[in-house]
A and B are shown apart, each in its own frame.
Chain A
Amino acid sequence: MHISFLLHNAYGIGGTIRTTYNLANTLAEQHDVEIVSVFRHREDPVFDHVPGVRVRHLVDLRPDTADAADPERLRPAEVFPHAEARFHQYNALTDRRIAEHLASVEADVVVGTRPGLNVHLARQTRRGPLRVGQEHLTLDTHSPQLRRTLRGVYPRLDALTTTTEADARSYERKMRLPGVRLQAVPNPVPAPAVEPSDGSGKWVVAAGRLAPVKRYDLLIRAFATVAAERPDWRLRIYGRGKQKDRLRALIEELGLYNHVYLMGAAHPIDPEWAKGSLAAVTSTMESFGMTIVEAMRLGVPVVATDCPHGPGEIISDGTDGRLVKVGDVKAIAGGLLDLINNDEQRQQMSHAALKNSARFDPARIAERYESLFADLGARTGGSAGGRMRGSLHRTRAALLGSAYAVRDAGHAALRKGRTS
């Protein structure tokens, strides 16, 4: 298959960008993959890509380029929706370049990676390629105006993917997208390049932007309870953000300066998780919950608030981590202390976390996308009946060489055969 991703800026840093590279790199083992970046503002991408992935741009914003000075950039975008968070970065030039790209794209599947680009995809992709939109945030976080726009346009997509089942259900409930396949596919998280944690350190680790939604204030307050009972345990919070001064003031006010440390940003973060024996996530909302998977992939069990949308779909409560009540300092402290005070249970959870988080490996996530793409291809071209199923089997075998994935696809093709 030839798969073409459309990304806001493949040269930047961020969750969606990292996820797209991880997925593209893995899909490139079997497929012809390109990442088309609407913008380019620097020489090289920050994230590595394998030689099989081509990265190119549509609008060059590096200094002294013709694009940077193009007067079309001064006229507002008409296709990119006004209600999208990044509307101000789009304009008549991006409208035109994206339209030209999608009108001529040489691909079997085009994948959009944010609502505004999914709108382009739905409206402007030439006849032929499958149109797959990805939702990396959640429906709840979109404004009513944006939801209205998407409701009108998304029916022209073949599929929409969300990062959680919970969000897929919201789309189903609130958006009514006839003929659009709604599918939750979690974000891929690669196997870490360092050994898992040995669980010996008396450290709790948290990592993320120091932003209000992460509620690190609750974590710090909870740690006051932890430190009172177990002064031998300490907390490290990695990340930077606007809340830093407030959080520091709270640490000092609570007299926790020997127990709670603001570590600043760390790249890569994997070696830092490996220093912990427990991780904590205390957010009020997580679109997915990437840090939970990252910690688990290092054998570090996570105590997380059971907030929308991701944690409950990643953590199996009591088996490979703990889910506690959102916004509840006592519950967070209790969850941490339970595992701090029970070495054996913590060790068991560490093993389970390592094992259970393997389902987020890019190879496994790529398989899910491959199944989706093959399934959609079969559905839309499925009039050939039996011949179709046979050739699909061959396709899957050729693409994956994995018995597991072939079996899945076979079932999917059979299901389709019966229903269509």
Chain B
Amino acid sequence: MTQPTADQLLETSQRTFQPKEDAIPAPRADCIADSAGGLTFDVLDGGGSGRAHLVLVRRTAEEDVVRLPLTPVAQGRLRAVLPSGVELAEGRWETHIRVGDAEPRRLTPGINDLRALVDRSPDPGAARIAVRIPYTTKHGNLSVRSWLRAPHAEAGDLTLGQDRLTVRGRLYGAALAQGAHMELSAGREGPVLRAEVTAEPSVPGGFSCTVEHGTLTEGAWRFRLRPAGEEGPRVRLSRLLDDVADKHDVFHYPGTDYPPSAPSLHVRPAYTASNDLTLTVTPVP
């Protein structure tokens, strides 16, 4: 078998190589989150004339639009910043790039660096909690989920026992006062229950709440913290302060049958599509 000599190797290596024209790829955005709730988007400059904007669109009855200027930074990239101070209503926001008068183009996800969100613990005194988590949609596009809460009750560790569920949480933008309790309701017209809430002084804003299974009937129970009793605000209990856009599949809990001796109800905590804590109670078959 004849093999190439080193001279031949040298010769072939010096052949120049013409890069082919690349097709225009779908614009891709890298996204970095900061711990305050701000997001920075970096997009490769695809050229075009006119000023470039990052356009966030929330599909509701009336279209909600936020435009952020994309300005050139190093290495042919454009950058847009969404500071935590800029209001972004709760919901799902599509991301687009628009250059001049050209048609906006949907952005696809590049690298989402969300490490700053993983164990977010904002100042408990913060008047308002802004949460924005970039995620990839079913169709492979980049969107941002937004939550805006004032005050906010964050759900933490859950302990599901045979007789009761204990939820640990933290309250932001309000303080627990006399008469603080958790309100549980199953549907608009359904019954309303009260569960005990105690402050956990070791954690700023910390509280724990215990729900006795014996008080529950069938239904999907939602939690509302009443930090100041009947007179004060009604604060949804949600899990928002991390990098997981959709909690349901990741924060997954077992269920338990109640009462243990002769079970008639199955009780299981879960998160809803909007990341609110819920307790589903179904009959044991």
By a beta-carbon cutoff of 8 Å, the part of chain A in contact with chain B is 1-2, 28, 30-32, 50-52, 54, 108, 127-130, 158, 193-195, 197, 201-203, 248, 252, 257-258, 261-264, 268, 270-271, 274-275, 373-374, 376-378, 380-381, 384, 388, 391-392, 394-395, 398-399
Q: Judging by beta carbons under 8 Å apart, are A203 and B118 in contact?
A: yes
Decide: A271 near B13, CB < 8 A? Known: A128-B3, A395-B6.
no
Q: Which residues of A contact B4 (CB under 8 A)?
A: 108, 128-130, 377, 381
Q: Which residues of B contact A193 (CB under 8 A)?
A: 30, 111
Is the CB of B138 closer than 8 A to any CB of chain A?
no
Chain A residue with the shortest CB-CB distance to B116? A275
**Using a CB-CB cutoff of 8 Å, which residues 108-152 of chain B contact chain A?**
111-115, 118-119
* Interface membership of chain B positions 1-13, coded 1 if the CB is closer than 8 angstroms to chain A and 0 otherwise: 1111111111011
Decide: A399 near B13, CB < 8 A? Known: A376-B3, A381-B5.
yes
Is the CB of B261 closer than 8 A to any CB of chain A?
no
Is the CB of B20 closer than 8 A to any CB of chain A?
yes
Count B-side interface residues using an 8 Å CB cutoff.
37
| Count of inter-chain pairs, beta carbons less than 8 A | 114
Give Cα A32 to B18, complex, Å: 10
- The residue that A391 contacts in the complex, of B2, B6, B119, B251, with Cβ under 8 A, is B6
Q: Which residues of B contact A381 (CB under 8 A)?
A: 3-6, 8
Give Cα A394 to B6, complex, Å: 9
Known: A2-B15, A194-B111, A398-B10. 6 other contacts (CB 8 A): A32-B12, A51-B19, A127-B1, A128-B3, A271-B112, A399-B13
Give Cα A51 to B113, complex, Å: 27
Give Cα A352 to B250, complex, Å: 32
Give Cα A398 to B12, complex, Å: 11
Q: Judging by beta carbons under 8 Å apart, are B14 and A398 in contact?
A: yes
Q: Shortest CB–CB separation between residue B9 and chain A, in angstroms?
A: 5
Most B C-beta atoms less than 10 A away, residue of A203, A261, A264, A275: A275
Q: Judging by beta carbons under 8 Å apart, are A128 and B1 in contact?
A: yes
Per DSSP, are chain B's interface residues mostly helix, strand or loop, or mixed?
Answer: loop
Q: Judging by beta carbons under 8 Å apart, are A252 and B254 in contact?
A: yes
Chain B residue with the shortest CB-CB distance to A388? B6
Q: Judging by beta carbons under 8 Å apart, are B9 and A271 in contact?
A: no
By a beta-carbon cutoff of 8 Å, the part of chain B in contact with chain A is 1-10, 12-15, 17, 19-20, 22, 30, 111-115, 118-119, 157-159, 243-244, 249-254
Q: Which residues of B contact A129 (CB under 8 A)?
A: 4
- The residue that A108 contacts in the complex, of B12, B30, B119, B254, with Cβ under 8 A, is B12
Q: Which residues of A contact B244 (CB under 8 A)?
A: 263
Pairs A-B, 10 closest by C-beta atoms: A51-B19, A380-B3, A252-B254, A381-B5, A258-B157, A391-B6, A395-B10, A392-B6, A271-B113, A275-B115
Q: Which residues of B contact A398 (CB under 8 A)?
A: 10, 13-14
Decide: A271 near B111, CB < 8 A? Known: A1-B12, A395-B6.
yes
Decide: A263 near B250, CB < 8 A? Known: A377-B5, A381-B4.
yes
Give Cα A129 to B4, complex, Å: 7
Give Cα A183 to B19, complex, Å: 32
Q: Shortest CB–CB separation between residue B124 and chain A, in angstroms?
A: 19
Q: Which residues of A contact B159 (CB under 8 A)?
A: 258
Give Cα A2 to B253, complex, Å: 56
Q: Judging by beta carbons under 8 Å apart, are A1 and B9 in contact?
A: yes
Q: Which residues of B contact A399 (CB under 8 A)?
A: 13
Give Cα A76 to B119, complex, Å: 56
Give Cα A415 to B4, complex, Å: 19
- The residue that B13 contacts in the complex, of A30, A203, A257, A275, with Cβ under 8 A, is A30
Chain A residue with the shortest CB-CB distance to B254? A252
Q: Which residues of A contact B2 (CB under 8 A)?
A: 127-128
Most A C-beta atoms less than 10 A away, residue of B5, B157, B158, B254: B5
- The residue that A262 contacts in the complex, of B17, B19, B30, B250, with Cβ under 8 A, is B250
Give Cα A374 to B12, complex, Å: 13
Q: Judging by beta carbons under 8 Å apart, are A257 and B252 in contact?
A: yes
Chain B residue with the shortest CB-CB distance to A259? B157
Q: Which residues of B contact A32 (CB under 8 A)?
A: 12-13, 15, 17
Q: Judging by beta carbons under 8 Å apart, are B114 and A271 in contact?
A: yes
